[in-house]
Amino acid sequence: MGSASHLGYWADRKGKTPNRLPRGLFFGLVGLLAFTAGAIVFGQTTGLGLVKQQLGAPVAIRDLMITRSTSDFVVVTDVATRREIASYGPQAGGFVRGSLRAFERMRQVAKVPFETPYRLIKWEAGAVSLSDIGTGERIYLDAFGPDNVAAFEALLGSQGGESQ
């Protein structure tokens, strides 16, 4: 068997110009990359054109213990008072249950005990976040819609939780 140059392709290409990217398109792409890099540097140095979300200070903070029982009930307990705040059956509390599953997975990977509390925070700007104290992960619940935020906001209590 011969080399690749004897298979006919290279012989057919002899004397023909190679296929190249058109010069106008090449310089346009380089210009676009230069403009993008310049806009990023300009925005970072001057602050113009940047959209920043200012959460402000925490308005309400509550440390929670969220556990799953053997009968697939999810029980939410206030860590400070050891009082049960809520209990969700197997067909209830969909978003709370789903969030717990995600955090349980992160805890399993990080080898953090499942008994470590979570921290629920309501911010001045109205945002609500759920933090895993053990892994340091935090999710802002606003991204999941107002109904799901309300499910966790209800866990803060009637006075908005324990202010700190």
Instruction: Say what the pTM is.
Output: 0.58
Task: For residues 43 and 7, give the distance between their C-alpha atoms in angstroms, rounded to a whole number.
Answer: 55
Checking if the pLDDT of 1 tops 70, the result is no
Q: Which range has highest mean pLDDT (19-33, 96-110, 124-138)?
A: 19-33
Checking if the pLDDT of 160 tops 50, the result is no
Checking if the pLDDT of 83 tops 60, the result is yes
Q: Angle at the Cα of 51 (from 49 to 54), degrees rounded to 5?
A: 140
Q: What is the mean pLDDT of residues 58-79?
A: 78
Contacts for 84 with CB less than 8 Å, ≥ 6 apart: 75, 76, 77
**Position 147 confidence tier, pLDDT thresholds 50, 70, 90:** confident
Query: 9 and 18 in contact (C-beta within 8 Å)?
Result: no
Checking if the pLDDT of 161 tops 50, the result is no
**Position 11 confidence tier, pLDDT thresholds 50, 70, 90:** low
Q: Which range has highest mean pLDDT (14-28, 34-48, 106-120)?
A: 34-48
**How is the chain split into domains, by residue range?**
4-46, 58-156
Q: pLDDT digits over 26-50, tens only?
A: 999 999 999 999 999 998 888 887 7
Task: For residues 19 and 24, give the distance between their C-alpha atoms in angstroms, rounded to a whole number.
Answer: 15
Checking if the pLDDT of 114 tops 80, the result is no
